[in-house]
């Protein structure tokens, strides 16, 4: 229904975006009632970024993208290899785009 809040999903992708495309296709087909607000990738040349641009144009969506990797946020290691500044950048992006769920 129009005017109702739709849950906002952030998608993590590092390559061609198979999961992103499956979620986007389900949204476009009306099979699920939520929106993708953000795609985060650790590769600036990931194919998923072109898919986001194409679908934004095709459907009038406004899915944001963010590149977060060690080259952009270098410092000491944390957890499973992500740096402290990568973690902070990820959390900041999720908050900025008001993501409710992660894929």
Separation CA 58–CA 56 (nearest Å):
6
**pLDDT tens column, 4-62:** 889 999 999 999 999 999 999 999 999 999 999 999 999 999 999 999 999 999 999 99
User: What's the pTM value of the predicted model, to 2 decimals?
Assistant: 0.88
What are the tens digits of pLDDT across the range 73-82?
777 665 566 7
pLDDT of residue 82: 76
Query: How open is the CA angle 55-16-95, to the nearest 5 degrees?
Result: 65
Name the 3-class secondary structure at 103.
coil
Q: How many residues does the chain have?
A: 103
- Report pLDDT for 1: 46
């Amino acid at each position: 229904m129009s005017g109702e809040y739709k849950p906002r999903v952030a998608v993590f992708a590092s390559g061609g975006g198979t999961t992103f495309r499956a979620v986007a296709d389900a949204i476009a087909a009306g099979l699920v009632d939520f929106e993708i607000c953000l795609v985060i990738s650790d590769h600036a040349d990931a194919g998923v970024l072109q898919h986001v641009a194409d679908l934004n144009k095709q459907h009038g969506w406004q899915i944001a993208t963010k590149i977060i990797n060690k080259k952009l946020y270098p410092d000491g290691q944390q957890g499973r290899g992500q740096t402290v500044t990568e973690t902070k950048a990820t959390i900041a992006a999720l908050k900025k785009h008001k993501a409710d769920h992660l894929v």
